[in-house]
Structure formats: structure tokens, C-alpha cells
Amino acid sequence: MPRSLASAPQARTVSAPAVLWLRRDLRRADHPALGAAATHGDVLPVFVLDPAFFEAAGPARQGWLAATLRALDASYEGRLCLRAGDPATVIPELVREVGAASVHVSTETEPGGAARDAAVRANLVAAGVDWVETGSPYAVTPGRVVNQSGEGYKVFTPFLRAWREHGWRGPAVEPDGVRLLAADGDPGAWRRVDAALTACPIPLPPAGEDPARARWAEFLGSGLAGYDTDRDRPDLAATSRLSPYLKFGVVHPRTLLADLQGRTGKAVERFTAELAWREFYADVLHRHPASLAGDLNPLGVGYDEPGEGFEAWRDGRTGFPVVDAGMRQLLATGWMHNRVRMITASFLTKDLHLWWPVGARHFLDHLIDGDLASNTHGWQWTAGTGTDAAPYFRVFNPVTQGEKFDPHGDYVRRWVPELAHVRGAAVHRPWDVADGYAHGYPRPILDHAAERLEALARYQRR
């Protein structure tokens, strides 16, 4: 297991108040920036509802953020200061109001967040206010895992090995006697939060740190043992379902890794590797910010424009049951099983021949766990333009994938009620069932075998 790099909490040296600006670290436990802020004196926790980020989120993720902020306010004893506007203006104004001498944050490495932070930091430094970065949303901050040449990795397996060897700090302990400062929030911002929660089109999981820890405890107790063998089964409740909490930093991956220490076996290794995938993609995006909107490894193939095929994919009516089940699960819950994410992404890029950003944007519009780096590079991995040696020839067969990973058809029947009458694995081939289309399920919109050959031909012509 990785070595622990934990250090003892620093002694408090009371001076002017400190602002703790929360972003993708919406928690109180295991929060290094909170500990650092508390060494300076009273701490004002603040969240800025930045229109540039908030308005870009779909209504499901807006609702999830709103629920999380309400829970966060309770974690900070009702003293979360919520303001709305451009942080480059809002944070300096708040600093002047409370007479703070420092602003504490978790390091941000996503392109948009890093640019925002640079603007805020410049304004604060010009005013003589300290900018202090402590910790990040990751066990190992992106940019720190390097090969022998001092460069980053583009292939996961060597990254995983180096990530483990690098190690990470143990969970941060909140200093005794943290004093939280109260400041006037923006009633209009709270109204927008509550409106987003009311308008959320999906039922949300319980929000906040306590539900996140309860979910993790449940998974450790009854789910982890079967994770290695069952995690690819969308018909089973075999995954941790922690991704919505990791999205906003309600729980830190370092906390999870610490709880895994002393546990052995393939399931532990597999779950740890899945956490590492999240860190790998964050590292790749940090080093290659242009990959957010373009191919990391361009293939030079031709793509079609979105049309009726995209609309059928988006709405879950392609005529391929496991694809449609996944797309309907996404619309109904704001979440999709990871194996099905790969199947649906392959269908869009390899069967419909659309460029991956079309699908990635749709996912971000609906996923409550829509992590920018993981979503972007998960799509690129499937499309063949991302972090893999030569994946362009990998074309998922949506029928055989459904039969393999939903062997009894329970996942499809849950999300595609038109096929609820079809028993067993036959649900994946309704065209072979006498009454397969008796309840209005659509016929396939394309011939997968033909489109697979077309995809391979396009790649070979590149």
C-alpha cells in the first residue's frame, strides 16, 4: 500500500480572519485548506455561485449542487456565506468586508478553474492579501506523477504504478477549536439555489457528508467483496455510487484510500485502480488543456453531422436495447453505469460516426457526477483519440455487450418498459422474438455490422 505522508496539524497563530473559498471541496471533514485557514484565526467559509460555471451546468447538476450547498451550510453550522457573481470581484470585496488577510483554497487544475483562480489571485495579491493553496480534489495533485524523464503519462498502467509509488497524505484532521465567522450572504443567490433544487428534473440522492459516509460504509460492508467480478454488471447494484459525491468533493478520495488500508484482494486492487483512473484523467487534462475541446491524438477521420440518429441516441430509441436503457437511465436519474457509458459512447462514435464532443456535451448536460476530466477522456478513450495505444479498431457490439453484462436482461427491462414482456437474455434481440415489438419498441435505426465496417474503413483511410 502507498506510504502515508500525513503531517501533524500546525499550531494556531491568531491574526486577521481567513476566507475559506470552497469550490470542488464541499465538505468539512478531511479538508486541508480548512486546517490551514484555521491557523490564521476565525474562518469564513464561502461559496461563490459563478454564472460562468453554474449556468453551463444542466438542470440535474444544478439541482445536485443546490442540494449539496444546503447540506454544506449545515456542516458549517449555518455559516456558509453564499455570494453570486464573478469571483474575481466577489472574493476581493468579501475580503475587504471582513478584514481578511488571507484566502485559502484547494488547488484547482482544470483549465477553467485554474484560469479563474489566476484572475482572483492577481487581484488579491495586488491588494496585499495572501493566496494560500492547500490540498486538491485528488489524492495526488495533477502534475506530480512523472516518469523518469520528468514528463507525464499518456497510458494508464504505468501511471497507476507511479501513482502508487508516489503515495499520498493521510486524511487531514480538523484543528481543535475552529472558530467560524459569519458574514452576510446574498439572499438572491440562495433563492437561485433553492429554485434550482425545485426545478431539478430528477430524484436526487441524499446530499451531504453524512449520506456520503453512510454510502461508503455500506459499500465497504456489503459491496466491495464482489466489486472485482460484478462491477461491469449494470443489472446489479455492484458499484459504490460515490461518483456524485466525489464530483463536488463531498468526500475526498484520500479518505476512501485510507479506509482501504489493511484490506487486500482483487476487489480492493480494482477499486483503487478505478480511483486512479479519475486521477489519471485529471492529470492528462492538466497537462493537455486543449484536449478539453479537441482530440488528444487526432486520427484525421471524417465525422458526420448530428441528425436523426443523434436524436434517437439522445432519447433512447435507437432500437438497440442496452443503448436505449442506458440513455433512458441517464435522463431519468442523472447517472449511468460505467460499462453502459462505454457502450453508448461507442455507438455514437463508431455506429453513428459522430465526433465525441457531441456525446460528451450531452452527458455533461445530464450527469450529476459529470466530472470534466473523466467525461472528456472517457469519451476520447472510446473514440480512439485519447489515452491508449491503438484503440481505434475497438468497436463495441451493442447486442453482445448487452448479453454479456446484462445476462438476464433485467437492466434493459427496468429502463425499457416496451420490452418488459420479453423474458431473459432474449430482450437483447427483440427482432428474434415473435412479439418483440408488440408494445411499440422501435426497430434498429442502423445495421451495426455495416456501420462497424464503415468505421474501420474511415480509420484505415486516415
Residue 376 located in a structural domain: yes
Which spans in 167-238 are helix H?
Answer: 187-199, 209-218, 227-230
Q: State the pLDDT confidence band at 342, using cuts at 50, 70 and 90.
A: very high
Percentage with pLDDT > 70 across the chain = 96
pLDDT in tens, 296-305: 999 888 999 9
For residue 421, give the CATH number of its domain.
Answer: 1.10.579.10
Helices 59-75 and 209-218 pack at an angle, to 10 degrees, of 100
Distance CA 293, CA 271 (A): 29
Q: What is the DSSP letter of 123?
A: H
Model pLDDT, residue 416: 98
Q: What is the mean pLDDT of the chain?
A: 94
Query: Nearest-5° angle of CA 77, CA 82, CA 88?
Result: 135
Where is 230: in which H helix or E strand?
helix 227-230
Which spans in 238-367 are helix H?
Answer: 243-247, 253-260, 266-287, 308-315, 321-333, 338-346, 356-366
Q: Which domain holds residue 353?
A: 308-460
Distance CA 289, CA 286 (A): 6
Model pLDDT, residue 6: 37
Model pLDDT, residue 390: 60
Model pLDDT, residue 300: 85
CB 239 within 8 A of CB 337: yes
Q: State the pLDDT confidence band at 111, using cuts at 50, 70 and 90.
A: very high
pLDDT in tens, 180-194: 999 999 999 999 999
Model pLDDT, residue 418: 98
Distance CA 428, CA 426 (A): 5
CB 141 within 8 A of CB 5: no
Terminal Cα-to-Cα distance of the chain (whole angstroms): 44
Q: State the pLDDT confidence band at 4, using cuts at 50, 70 and 90.
A: very low
The model's pTM is 0.94
Residue 353 located in a structural domain: yes
Which of 239-253, 294-308, 341-355 is predicted least confidently?
A: 294-308
Higher pLDDT residue, 306 or 461?
306
Model pLDDT, residue 462: 66
Where is 19: in which H helix or E strand?
strand 18-22
Distance CA 150, CA 164 (A): 17
pLDDT in tens, 265-298: 999 999 999 999 999 999 999 999 999 999 999 9
Residue type, 277: W
Residue 119 located in a structural domain: no
User: Which residue in 66, 14, 7, 65 sits closest to 43, CA to CA?
Assistant: 14
Q: State the pLDDT confidence band at 392, using cuts at 50, 70 and 90.
A: confident
Model pLDDT, residue 459: 87
Residue 52 located in a structural domain: no
Is residue 3 predicted with pLDDT exceeding 80?
Answer: no
Residue 344 located in a structural domain: yes
420: left (phi over 0), alpha (psi -120 to 50) or beta: alpha
Is residue 410 predicted with pLDDT exceeding 80?
Answer: yes
Model pLDDT, residue 389: 60
Model pLDDT, residue 11: 46
Mean pLDDT score, 384-406: 89
Higher pLDDT residue, 393 or 296?
296
Total of domains in the chain: 1
Residue 312 located in a structural domain: yes
Residue type, 77: E
Which of 80-84, 271-275, 389-393, 427-431 is predicted least confidently?
A: 389-393
Percentage with pLDDT > 90 across the chain = 92
Residue 16 located in a structural domain: no
Model pLDDT, residue 394: 87
